[in-house]
């Protein structure tokens, strides 16, 4: 699976906010750009990472696991 730090950063923000719009706002991106990056990440993973019901975003089990790893990587990059 090939993924970029940018995709991980975007996904981590989506996972933290459980919102594509709030993640986009935080990262100074458009909501469609965030959605596109998450979709690209899901394609690379071969698994759905999020599930959207109405306006609510939920993480799948695979999404929860990736979010944990993304948080660790983000923390290590901040140190």
Residue 57: half-sphere exposure toward Cβ, Cα within 13 Å: 21
Q: Which CATH number fits domain 5-78: 1.20.120.1200, 3.30.70.2190, 1.10.443.10, 1.10.10.10?
A: 1.10.10.10
Please give the pLDDT value at position 55.
82
Contacts for 41 with CB less than 8 Å, ≥ 6 apart: 3, 7, 10, 11, 49, 66
pLDDT of 75 over the 90 cut: no
Please give the pLDDT value at position 8.
93
The band of 62, judged by pLDDT with boundaries at 50, 70 and 90, is very high
Q: What is the mean pLDDT of residues 10-16?
A: 96
């Amino acid at each position: 699976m090939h993924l970029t730090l940018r995709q991980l950063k975007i996904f981590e923000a989506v996972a933290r906010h459980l919102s594509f719009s709030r993640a986009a706002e935080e990262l100074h991106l458009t909501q469609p750009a965030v959605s596109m990056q998450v979709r690209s990440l899901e394609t690379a993973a071969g698994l759905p990472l999020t599930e959207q019901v109405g306006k609510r975003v939920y993480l799948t089990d695979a999404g929860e696991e990736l979010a944990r790893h993304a948080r660790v990587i983000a923390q290590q990059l901040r140190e």
